[in-house]
Amino acid sequence: MLTYKNNNPYIEGTSLYDLVKVCETPFYAYSQKKIVDQVNKTKQILGKNIFYSIKSNSNQAILKLMNSLDIGADVVSIGELKRALEAGFDPNKIIFEGVGKSKQDLLYAMHKNIRLINTESLEEIKLLDSLANDKNKIVDIGVRLNPDIDGETLSKISTGKKTDKFGIEINNLDKIIELVKSCKSLNLIGISCHIGSQISKIEAYKNTFNQMKKAADKFMQSGIKIKHIDLGGGFHVKYKDSDPEFNIEMIKEELDNCFAQTNYELSFEPGRYLIAEAGVIVTSIITIKNNGGVNYLIVDAGMNTLIRPAMYGAHHEILAINLKSEESLEYSIAGPICESSDIFSKNVKLAKQEIGNLLVIKNTGAYGKVMSSNYNSRPLPSEILVNKDNYAIIYSPEKIEETIEADVIPSWL
């Protein structure tokens, strides 16, 4: 995403140095072109029924951009639903997922007449039926199935094994059918699944598609007319060179093999794949030290800015901006947070660095800013959207003084 012109780093037609002049580091910067290209490619290959999983990056500007590209939204909370509506998504293009939707969540989603509420437990189906009944409504629903497939991804982002908390076990179709048939106010028209994130093995997709087709056929045979099959997200992004090659054309091939003779409307709900590669973090080196032979670069971004390495052991490539130095050294790159896990990467070979230099953490457009926090009472990172030689700050964090003011001192102190 970063290109060089006369030794100066650029995102699209905008110099990184111009961004640093208007925004304190650390900040996230996104390339609009990369997002648009990725969405269009996905639509072209997998069809128009793409529901952007907004949990991966829910900045209002990003949502507006996604909406302008004529895709839908996949939301998992009232907050996300409000964000999607505010960004202009047609309610009929919003699906609501989530393993723990409260009564208020369900009432709000029902009230907004969104496309589909995907239920994740038998208890939730019963609750939704009684809420719809109280409101004299017939509500279209989907059921998220847990197909018991190991996506062979990081354990913390696996969701499709039968012991995972998500969805309803696929072996329980008879129970679902019996229950749904007894519900007066629900119309089961869809099934969905999501076996995890960062899924690269085509076998996992193939098994999932086959299981879902079988399940849909079984519902149909029971008299329940399934219109939509939502095959989830989870498409793999190449974070390191050694990561397996992945392209969604392979998925398309398996999709055609499995569903060629059917009339189900197929959809996907990717998050990471649409936006991860469009984002970088720009961070400054605060200090340099050698502890026990380890060369540390301490930067101003920390696990509060990007939690993926500390939380999942995830890898993000880090680039130096200064390409001038002839000498290169091996560094461990760490944040300023008082936690040993606040390390982005160990043994990274970079041109020799100085305090104040900028580094770029790559592929951070997804699950970056949305998972940032005020830990250690640090402000959240800003976000910038770059569009050719134009850019806009699309998120400015509240000042730490404002964060402090949000705390309330009780009368007895």
By beta-carbon proximity to ligand LLP, the closer residue of 329 and 371 is 371
In terms of CB distance, is 154 or 288 closer to ligand LLP?
154
Applying the rule CB under 6 A, the residues between 54 and 73 that interact with ligand LLP are 56
Q: Are the C-beta atoms of 118 and 94 separated by less than 8 Å?
A: no
For 348-393, what is the HEC assignment? EEEECCCCCCEEEECCCCCCCHHHCCCHHHCCCCEEEEEECCEEEE
Choices 21-29, 60-68, 271-279, 375-383 (CB under 6 A): range interacting with ligand LLP: 271-279
Is 23 considered catalytic here?
A: no
* Contact status: 42 vs ligand LLP (CB under 6 A): no
Residue selected from 271, 279, 381, 397 as contacting ligand LLP according to rule CB under 6 A = 271
List the one residue out of 406, 340, 333, 408 whose CA is nearest residue 374. 406
Choose, by CB under 6 A, the member of 50, 89, 97, 191 that binds ligand LLP: 97
**Beta sheet of 2-5, edge-to-edge order:** 2-5, 8-11, 14-15
Shortest distance, position 118 Cβ to ligand LLP, whole Å: 8
Chosen residue from 269, 277, 300, 342 binding ligand LLP by CB under 6 A: 269
The one-letter amino acid code at 48 reads K
Which is closer to ligand LLP, CB of 23 or CB of 251? 251
**272 near ligand LLP, rule: CB under 6 A:** yes
Least separation in angstroms between residue 276's CB and ligand LLP is 8
For the record, the structure tokens of 371 come out as: 């998972």
- Assess 74 for contact with ligand LLP (CB under 6 A): yes
Q: Which is nearer to ligand LLP, 344 or 367 (CB)?
A: 367
Binding mask 178-197 for ligand LLP (x = CB under 6 A): ----------------x--x
Q: Token digits for 212?
A: 């879902």
CB-CB contact of 97 with 192 (8 Å): yes
Task: Name the one residue in this structure whose structure tokens are 């660095």.
Answer: 353
For 187, 224, 372, the CA distances from 212, given in Å and listed in that order, are: 19, 15, 35
Q: How far is the CB of 71 from ligand LLP (least distance, A)?
A: 13
Residue 172 CB neighbour total at 10 angstroms: 16
- The residue from 23, 183, 193, 338 that is catalytic is 338
Query: Of residues 233, 302, 336, 381, which one binds ligand LLP by CB under 6 A?
Result: 233
232 is an interface residue for ligand LLP by CB under 6 A: yes
For ligand LLP, the binding residues in 361-390 under the rule CB under 6 A are 366-367
Residue placing its CB nearer to ligand LLP in the complex, 196 or 397: 196
**CB-wise, 246 or 391, nearer to ligand LLP?**
246
- Are 332 and 347 a contacting pair, CB within 8 Å? yes
310-349 burial code (b ≥16 CB/10 A, e <16): bebebebbbbbbeeeeeeeeebbbbbbbeeeebbbbeebe
Question: Which secondary-structure segment (H or E) carries 27?
Answer: strand 27-31
Residue 86: enclosing H or E segment and its boundaries? helix 78-86
Q: Which is nearer to ligand LLP, 228 or 320 (CB)?
A: 228
Which residue from 27, 219, 235, 259 is in contact with ligand LLP, where contact means CB under 6 A? 235
Q: Where in the sequence numbering do the catalytic residues fall?
A: 338
Task: List interacting residues with ligand LLP (CB under 6 A).
Answer: 53, 56, 74, 97, 157, 159, 194, 197, 232-235, 269-273, 308, 312, 366-367
